[in-house]
A and B are shown apart, each in its own frame.
Chain A
């Protein structure tokens, strides 16, 4: 498959608020037509500033942004073919649902019939027929979110920006709405850049994502790629849970390497290489580790410890295993059986084991 052409190009963009560090530090990204691209990072990482530069609310200190080959520099927000769904929606409180959605179309001076037709079609798409005359404060959070979506889609923007689109909803509704939102965006076929600090939201909704920290993009990729092959300690730690162990390469053979860590020797059986003595960090996700009371057979990677905490989450249980060095190993066991007979209890000794393909090895 040929690489899709870049639709939104962010070229070496810098934003300096004069605070001593750069809010956005030489970021370059290529976003393809029709994809949902997520900017993910902790608060203050520069993702919102980058989004606001796309919308035109901030001017880049340096660098260039091109949409469909056209530079956006110097265009005020009201002239950009870009619409944004704001965090907590920013619906106009003095206007009805219908007037909120029609606001953008009226600014374009479209004929009254066309405005009415497009507003109706959009309200049907987001399932808000019958709510036209309500004011925003008479709607539930989920309904407000759909008005905001309708308002930002009705002008058929070339680029849709979502700023923490579901941040104001409670957990259950958020999960339902994620799927619904992706369906609507896909149906409309608009290219979309979203900002979120919620990794589950990013992984569930986005076709690709960029992980940001301190103004820099650390890694770009499909959600699965970023999760399974994090490129750095920060990404591994920020996306999901992880056990990080520092060590050094002890054996370097063509088909495997062994890495010495304080509590165990890692046997890594996939295509990595390095020289003996090289300092590395090994990352293992908790769900890739099996826990048992008896010593497991056959697996290279195993370590013994004492269960300090056992937290039951319903679909899975998280164990905190204290190892010989005092380090804590997180293990997540899926609760496949309703009542597992041999599950280790708090205070008991247990063996943790993982396969030789479970680890990610990265620079320390």
Chain B
């Protein structure tokens, strides 16, 4: 304790906050912290990966990109890996498979999460914290354990597998090609999607709930007053006014799903080879680090470019509204 009788950390914090540097550049400091973090732990590693992807590998080290050879500055850019990505169909196919499962997961999360978030937002105010708690409760257990649990539930003789069989869902699922044969639920596209939807559902529900809880009930009453049935009101008022939540939720589900590695590894099958697995193989089985890095860079670019375009469109739309 300091002489003033205050805890040391409070005193230190006061000193920090009242320091002339901080006072003068308080705003910049506050903004700088997350930017610093992203710079150190995202941008720098990304640049390293980018460098590796265009380097030539020599046993266990990489050639320098820029060298001084024969009195000339030489830049040795190795684009072999990128050409290989373009040339080999494997990369394109796995990337498209990743996109497909990410999209399916996002759509299913939206279909399940929207009604859930809607009724949560419309529930009695006293019940809402408890419902919110239920959404977040799974986070208290390790994600890996929960995915492993699905293995047990979906394997032959597992609880869910038997339940689905008893409901007579085996034949239709097999007919649709979701599973190879009746009774084989695990390590199929079906089990992969179950695991991904299960894992990412809260990331869809939370932003949707935040948007829907803010929705002014009087707008729904106004729509009803003007002759809109509840169904029409939902499509003409509720959905358009919750687009921000839908977009946020879709991003939070779609983007990590593309690069997902653990769930396809544990619950996926031979037909669900996704880009994350390819990346792993390049790094740790083939030990071809330039190739692996090139795949990683490509995936990031393919995600970031549409995202950046979308953000710009959003910003412009906001500008117009102002």
* Chain A residues with a Cβ under 8 A of chain B: 55-57, 76-79, 82-84, 86-88, 90-94, 103-104, 107-108, 135, 137-138, 151-152, 155
Query: What does the 1/0 interface line of B232-260 toward A look like (CB < 8 Å)?
Result: 10001100110000000000000000000
Q: Which residues 114-148 of B sit at the A interface, judged by CB distance below 8 A?
A: none
Q: How far is the CB of B269 from chain A (nearest CB, A)?
A: 43
Would B237 and A78 count as touching, CB distance under 8 A?
no
Instruction: Please name the 10 residue pairs, one residue from A and one from B, whose CB atoms are nearest each other, closest first.
Output: A104-B226, A107-B227, A90-B222, A90-B218, A77-B224, A94-B240, A78-B224, A78-B227, A84-B225, A107-B228
B223 touches A103 (CB 8 A): yes
Identify the closest chain A residue to B236 (Cβ): A103
* Chain A residue at minimum C-beta to C-beta distance from B227: A107
The number of inter-chain residue pairs (CB within 8 angstroms) is: 60
CB of B197, distance to nearest CB on chain A (Å): 29
Min CB–CB distance B231 → chain A (angstroms): 10
Q: Is B216 an interface residue (CB 8 A)?
A: yes
Is the CB–CB distance between A151 and B226 below 8 Å? yes
Main secondary structure of the interface of B (DSSP, over half): helix
Minimal beta-carbon separation of A48 from chain B (angstroms): 12
A90 touches B221 (CB 8 A): yes
A-B contact pairs, 13 of them (CB 8 A): A55-B225, A56-B224, A77-B221, A77-B225, A78-B225, A82-B225, A83-B225, A83-B226, A91-B222, A92-B223, A94-B241, A103-B228, A107-B232
CA distance A76 to B229 in the complex (A): 9
B321 at the interface (CB under 8 A from A): yes
B233 to chain A, nearest CB (A): 8
Asked whether B219 is an interface residue with its Cβ less than 8 Å from the other chain, the reply is yes
Q: How far is the CA of A137 from the CA of B318 in the complex (A)?
A: 12
In angstroms, Cα B26 to Cα A227, docked, is: 60
Given contacts A94-B240, A94-B241, contact A78 B222 (CB under 8 A): no
Q: B219 contacts A108, CB within 8 Å?
A: no
Given contacts A107-B232, A135-B321, contact A92 B224 (CB under 8 A): no
Q: With A92-B237, A107-B232 as given contacts, are A86 and B226 in contact (CB-CB < 8 Å)?
A: no
Residue in contact with B227 in the complex, picked from A55, A88, A104, CB distance below 8 Å: A104
- Bound together, the chains give a CA A268 to CA B218 distance in angstroms of 51
| Residue in B216, B219, B228, B321 whose beta carbon sits within 8 Å of that of A78 in the complex | B228
Q: Which residue of A lies closest to B237 (CB)?
A: A92
A76→B220 CA distance, assembly (Å): 13
B residues with a Cβ closer than 8 A to A are 216, 218-219, 221-229, 232, 236-237, 240-241, 321
Contact A86/B321 with A94-B241, A151-B226 known, Cβ cut-off 8 Å: no
A137 pairs with B221, CB closer than 8 A: no
Residues of A within 8 A of B229 (CB): 78
Nearest opposing residue in chain A for B219, CB measure: A90
Of chain A, the residue at the smallest CB distance from B216 is: A90
Given known pairs A55-B225, A137-B321, A155-B227, the reply for A86 and B218 (CB within 8 Å) is yes
Distance (whole angstroms) from the CB of B239 to the closest CB of chain A: 10
Residues of A within 8 A of B221 (CB): 55, 57, 77, 86, 90
**A194: min CB distance to chain B, Å:** 15
Residues from chain B with Cβ under 8 Å of A78 in the complex: 224-229
User: What separation, in Å, do the CA atoms of A107 and B222 have in the docked complex?
Assistant: 13
Q: Give min CB distance, A87 to chain B, whole Å.
A: 8
> Which of A56, A82, A86 has a CB less than 8 Å from the CB of B222?
A86
A94 vs B225: C-alpha distance when bound (angstroms): 18
**Could you say which of A55, A57, A92, A93 has the most chain B C-beta atoms within 10 Å of its C-beta?**
A92
In the complex formed, the residue of A with least CB distance to B217 is A90
Assembled-state Cα–Cα distance A76/B223 (Å) = 12
User: Across the interface, do B321 and A108 meet the contact criterion of CB distance under 8 Å?
Assistant: no
| Chain B residues with CB under 8 A of A104 | 226-227
Look across to chain B and name the residue whose beta carbon is closest to the beta carbon of A76.
B224
A91: B residues at CB distance < 8 A: 222
Closest A residue, CB atoms, query B229: A78
With most chain B CB atoms within 10 A of its CB, the pick from A76, A77, A88, A108 is: A77
Give CA–CA (A303, B237) in the complex, Å. Answer: 64
Whole-angstrom distance between the Cβ of A81 and the nearest chain B Cβ: 10
Contacts of A77 in B (CB 8 A): 221, 224-225
The residues of B that contact A151 with a CB separation of less than 8 Å are 226
**Complex Cα–Cα for A10 and B105 (A):** 54
CA distance A5 to B55 in the complex (A): 93
Residue of A nearest to B222 (CB): A90
CA distance A90 to B221 in the complex (A): 9
Nearest to B239 among chain A residues (CB) is: A94
Report A-chain residues with C-beta under 8 Å of the C-beta of B226.
Answer: 78, 83, 103-104, 107, 151, 155
Residue of A nearest to B218 (CB): A90
Instruction: Give the residue name and chain of the A residue nearest to B320 (CB).
Output: A135
Say how far B7's CB is from chain A's closest CB, in angstroms.
46
Additional A-B contact list (5), CB under 8 Å, known A92-B219, A92-B222: A55-B221, A56-B225, A77-B221, A90-B218, A94-B241
Give the shortest distance, in Å, between B221 (CB) and chain A (any CB). Answer: 6
Which residues of A lie under 8 Å from residue B321 when comparing CB positions? 135, 137-138
Q: Which residues of A contact B237 (CB under 8 A)?
A: 92
Residues of A within 8 A of B225 (CB): 55-56, 77-78, 82-84, 86, 152
Shortest beta-carbon distance from B238 to chain A in Å: 11
Q: How far is the CB of B241 from chain A (nearest CB, A)?
A: 6
> What residues of A have a CB within 8 angstroms of the CB of B224 in the complex?
56-57, 76-78
